[in-house]
């Protein structure tokens, strides 16, 4: 390959899925990955129907199913007393939206996308540190740390939370939530993990903390995540989110949650940042994608999904517009539809995180309202789990929030004290 049609900066889940989406349309795509090898750090990831629909379109859904777990239910429990608050029937959810809810190891999803890129001839390059992106007379270019310059018709910046290309559009910084995540995976062959029901994705929501568990790799592993607000972060200290804070944050939670803390990897933790939404993602022939455009907090499990959707939309817009209006038309169509959807996801993720971590009266009001919810009420996910919009007119209406104050006062006793 000489100059490709497209350079994708970043070889994570977003970058590889975008590369595949464009390459399967016959475009010459080069991926520049900063690390010495392609790979993904972390543990589990949840893929809702708006993502598995795209994997099916790519011909990858059966492979993803074989690598992951198809749970039967998603359940929310109170982290203090362990009682159930609400649930989604994921089998019924699949019937409603036409595609399953899937949980999978991040590295397995990434490796699957890497193999797909190889099959369609994507030029995959590692140890490529991009330090700048710029528009040119005929397209766009990237400058690498060693001084080399590479050119393409367009550059897709999938370079994550600390994106270089984002600075072309806005001079902003990541926003710290003061929350930190610990993760761990445990074999299910014996011990505590052997007794956990892997047909469920469960989140325990507690005051300034929550705990998630679900199965991975066909049920061979139990994935667990512990998230909490760091007092050190709130105090402005540099060394925050440390293991001593982990144990303190969950001291008042139920036995099951506390029992999972020894399984956390204590030599690493993930501080949780997002960015304020921006409504412009395209600068000339350079477009942002994934966390470079819309890094969210993880509370509605849509971060990687939004990146996969971005790439799919780019591929679909290329199929629709490239022969007629060229890349300006493709990027304009992408710009017209994706920022508003992702703004909704980023802001809803923040609000959902606040809802999860309530204490006192607000926690009791939340618990009452969640227990009143019908299992088969999809009003709060229809805007999210349906088909990915290709035109702004396809974007479904948002849900209507329910005020905490609407919880009946006579129901608050025993709703979690």
Instruction: Catalogue the active-site residues.
Output: 214
Q: Residue 122 to residues 23, 65, 106, 161, 272: CA-CA distances in angstroms? A: 7, 24, 21, 24, 32
The answer for residues whose C-beta is within 8 angstroms of residue 20's C-beta and 6 or more apart is: 58, 113, 116, 117, 120, 122, 311
The 10 Å Cβ neighbour count of residue 54 is 25
Q: Are 274 and 172 in contact (CB under 8 A)?
A: no
C-alpha to C-alpha distance for 164 and 134, rounded to whole angstroms: 11
The 10 Å Cβ neighbour count of residue 172 is 11
C-alpha to C-alpha distance for 359 and 206, rounded to whole angstroms: 7
The answer for residues whose C-beta is within 8 angstroms of residue 172's C-beta and 6 or more apart is: 166, 275, 276, 278
R_g (Cα) of the chain, nearest Å: 22
C-alpha to C-alpha distance for 304 and 407, rounded to whole angstroms: 34
18: exposed, middle or buried (Cβ count in 10 Å: 0-12, 13-18, 19+): buried
Taking the alpha carbons of 8, 10, 14, 20 in that order, is the dihedral positive or negative? positive
Q: Are 315 and 16 in contact (CB under 8 A)?
A: no
C-alpha to C-alpha distance for 143 and 390, rounded to whole angstroms: 32
DSSP 193-239: GGGS-TTEEEEEEETTEEEEEEEEGGGTEEEEEEEEE-HHHHTT-SS
């Amino acid at each position: 390959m000489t100059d490709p049609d497209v350079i994708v900066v970043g070889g994570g889940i977003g970058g590889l899925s975008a590369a595949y989406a464009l390459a399967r349309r016959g475009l010459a795509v080069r991926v520049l990955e900063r690390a010495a090898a392609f790979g993904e750090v972390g543990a589990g990831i949840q893929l809702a129907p708006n993502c598995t629909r795209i994997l099916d379109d790519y011909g990858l859904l059966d492979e993803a199913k074989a690598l992951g777990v198809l749970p039967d239910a998603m359940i929310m429990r109170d982290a203090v007393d362990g009682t159930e608050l609400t649930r989604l029937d994921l089998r019924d959810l699949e019937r409603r939206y036409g595609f399953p809810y899937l949980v999978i190891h991040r590295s397995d999803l990434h490796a699957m996308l890497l193999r797909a890129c190889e099959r369609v001839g994507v030029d995959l390059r590692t140890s490529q540190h991009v330090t700048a992106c710029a528009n040119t007379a005929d397209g766009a270019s990237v400058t690498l740390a060693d001084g080399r310059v590479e050119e393409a018709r367009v550059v897709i910046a999938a370079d994550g939370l600390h994106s270089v290309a984002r600075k072309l559009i806005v001079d902003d910084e990541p926003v710290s939530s003061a929350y930190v995540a610990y993760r761990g995976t445990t074999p299910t062959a014996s011990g505590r993990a052997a007794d956990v029901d892997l047909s469920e994705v469960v989140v325990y929501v507690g005051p300034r903390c929550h705990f998630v568990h679900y199965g991975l790799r066909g049920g061979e592993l139990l994935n667990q995540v512990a998230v909490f607000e760091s007092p050190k972060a709130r105090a402005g200290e540099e060394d925050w989110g440390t293991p001593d804070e982990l144990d303190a944050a969950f001291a008042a939670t139920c036995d099951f949650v506390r029992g999972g803390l020894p399984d956390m990897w204590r030599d690493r933790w993930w501080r949780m940042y997002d960015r304020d939404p921006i409504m412009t993602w395209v600068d000339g022939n350079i477009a942002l994608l994934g966390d470079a455009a819309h890094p969210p907090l993880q509370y509605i499990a849509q971060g990687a999904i939004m990146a996969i959707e971005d790439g799919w939309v780019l591929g679909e817009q290329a199929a629709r517009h490239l022969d007629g209006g060229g890349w300006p038309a493709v990027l304009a169509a992408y710009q017209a539809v994706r920022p508003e959807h992702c703004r909704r996801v980023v802001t809803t993720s923040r609000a959902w995180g606040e809802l999860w971590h309530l204490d006192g009266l607000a926690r009791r009001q939340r618990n009452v309202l969640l227990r009143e919810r019908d299992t088969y009420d999809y009003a709060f996910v229809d805007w999210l789990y349906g088909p990915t919009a290709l035109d702004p007119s396809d974007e479904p209406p948002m849900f209507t929030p329910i005020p905490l104050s609407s919880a009946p006062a006579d129901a608050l006793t025993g709703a979690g004290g």
